[in-house]
Amino acid sequence: MLLSLSIKNYALIEYLETDFSNQFSVITGETGAGKSILLGALGLVLGNRADLTSLKDKEQKCIIEAQFAISNYNLLSFFNENDMDYDDKTIIRREILPSGKSRAFVNDSPVNLLELQELGALLLDIHSQHQTRELTEENFQIDILDAVANNIDLVVAYKQALTSYKLIQKEVKQLTSEKEALVKEYEYNSYLLNELLVANLVDGEQEDLEQELEQLSNVEFIKENYERILAVANEEQIGALVNLKEMKISLQKIIGFSTLYAQLHERLTSSLLEIEDIVSECEQNNEKILADPERLEFVNTKLQSIYNLQKKHQVQSIAELLVIQNELDAKVIRVDDLDGAINKLQSELNKQQSKVDEIAKTIFENRKKIVPVLIDKMKMILSQLGMVEANFQIEINHTNSYFQKGKDEVVLLFSANKGTSYGSLKKVASGGEMSRIMLAIKAVLANYSKLPTIIFDEIDTGVSGEIAIKMGEIMKEMSTTMQVFAITHLPQIAAKGNSHYKVAKRNQGETTISELNLLTSEERIQHIAEMLSGKDITDSALQHAKALLN
């Protein structure tokens, strides 16, 4: 409930601070006195956007502060989820700076506008005339049914189940699309993969094959040079090995004369061994080198295959081709893997769909069951409000579609008079009838859900006399379970309030200011009499005012 409201430097209000009772409070005042300013200030506390026109003094900041008792609203989880400091008596403050910027605080902790709007919706329901249009909206009609049918927890469970269902459904669609794309490429990918597999590629073999090709292509030239090397080395009279051995013998003969000769002999011996090893290896290689046309053709064919694959895939090495081979292999295998994954997810999807359908069915049955109860209660209240013949038809169709609050389509039809055909509210109900229907709905909901504090802003438009008295009585009855405010021009309703506040404006120097005053019993009699007869209060008006108050 709204405990108090403090306003500083807002519109026509210089400073205002008021406490409120927990019952039925009425607010009255002449047109233009500032009632809409109060609602505007409350709107800012609830998260409405602000601008510099809100400031009375453009050099000073505007501060609006409202204190709420929230212990009965089960809001601790909301505060925790939004990282706010919880207090049973929560203070919301909104500041508008001369620069045009605004700041919002909940229990002195800064919050953003979205968080403030979400919290405000849980604390205060401002019902103005234009909001009767909500009655024509299917979502609002569903909310009414769910409140009376006690479906709130079920709808939350349905939303959670539906969210999970849609996530799985999205994943199935993504995998199915991926599979369809892969299937289209499957044959081509398989063909490319088979080409690479047939090539039997080995990383690094290209260089070996290219070297082998060079050797096989030049066998005669290589053999000719080997034989020449062997001839030079092994010639009996002038061969390199013969001469080196002669040199070694000569050095051996003079070793004893100097260490220098010994060193030269040692070096020559080492060189001779190395050259003998080279000549031996040349002999072995010469024997191995044979013309092999078949091997030459194989190597040439294998290399040409590698070159063709590199050109086809626009790469330069076998390593890159092997990477492509692995990628193609993964794509081909992925098609089979996707089938299993899709089947598994489809099974989960079917289970989740059954869960959603089951909750939706229960919601539908609860709604269907409560329709006669809701219609009877609304007819009873509307009868008190002068709409004796008013009647409703509520059609609930259980569909195969998944909506945000179930699978139902709801149609609310209305007939104001006996014998007239039913039609949608926006077509057959007048403004005054819409106001009374909305009041009846709010009165019914007050018994089924913990509505926040509600402010009726001139919901009595278009009614008077006995009907106005009944509207006042209904609002007063609502205040036994919740805090109710009524902004009204009708004395019949004003007289029903447990507390009566008057909005008035007066001149102060060169400026005009608005004030909100709690009326005493005597002031209340005078003011209601004035509402009845105008500025010239008559004795009969005073008597009438006293009668209304009693």
Residue with tokens 């046309």: 293
Distance CA 164, CA 393 (A): 35
Could you tell me if 496 and 26 are in contact, meaning their C-beta atoms sit under 8 angstroms apart?
yes
Burial of residue 258 (number of CB atoms within 10 Å: 0-12, 13-18, 19+): exposed
Beta bridge partners of 117: none
- Yes or no: is domain 1-128+451-519 CATH 3.40.50.300? yes
φ and ψ of 294, to 5 deg: -65, -45
Average pLDDT over residues 252-259: 84
- Sorting pLDDT into bands at 50, 70 and 90, what band is 130? low
For the chain, the distance separating the N- and C-terminal CA atoms, rounded to the nearest angstrom, is 27
**pLDDT (tens digit, 9 = 90+) per residue, 362-412?**
999 999 999 999 999 999 999 988 889 999 999 999 999 999 999 999 999
**pLDDT (tens digit, 9 = 90+) per residue, 150-206?**
998 999 999 999 999 999 999 999 888 877 777 777 777 778 878 888 888 888 888
CA nearest neighbour of 122 among 54, 159, 163, 70 = 70
The pLDDT score that the predictor gives to residue 33 is: 66
| Segments making up each domain of the chain, as ranges | 1-128+451-519, 176-337
The pLDDT score that the predictor gives to residue 309 is: 84
Bigger pLDDT: 250 or 263?
A: 263
Distance CA 303, CA 363 (A): 73
The pLDDT score that the predictor gives to residue 397 is: 95
Mean pLDDT is lowest, of 14-18, 107-111, 129-133, 344-348, for 129-133
User: How many other C-beta atoms lie within 10 A of the C-beta of residue 404?
Assistant: 10
User: How many other C-beta atoms lie within 10 A of the C-beta of residue 474?
Assistant: 22
**pLDDT (tens digit, 9 = 90+) per residue, 257-268?**
888 888 988 898
The pLDDT score that the predictor gives to residue 129 is: 63
Lay out the sheet containing 511-518: strands in order across: 124-127, 453-457, 484-487, 24-28, 499-508, 511-518
* DSSP 8-state assignment for residue 92: E
Distance CA 54, CA 102 (A): 11
* DSSP 8-state assignment for residue 129: G
- Report in angstroms the alpha-carbon separations of 152 from 70, 146, 450: 20, 6, 12
Q: Are strands 484-487 and 499-508 parallel, antiparallel or unpaired?
A: unpaired
Most confident of 323-337, 508-522, 533-547: 533-547
Inform me whether the pLDDT recorded for 484 exceeds 80.
yes
Inform me whether the pLDDT recorded for 543 exceeds 70.
yes
Distance CA 367, CA 373 (A): 10
Inform me whether the pLDDT recorded for 73 exceeds 70.
yes
**pLDDT (tens digit, 9 = 90+) per residue, 428-468?**
888 778 888 888 988 898 888 777 789 998 887 777 788 88
Q: Are strands 124-127 and 391-403 parallel, antiparallel or unpaired?
A: unpaired
The pLDDT score that the predictor gives to residue 236 is: 64
The pLDDT score that the predictor gives to residue 341 is: 84
Cα Rg of the chain (Å, integer): 48
The pLDDT score that the predictor gives to residue 516 is: 87
Could you tell me if 8 and 64 are in contact, meaning their C-beta atoms sit under 8 angstroms apart?
yes
* DSSP 8-state assignment for residue 537: -
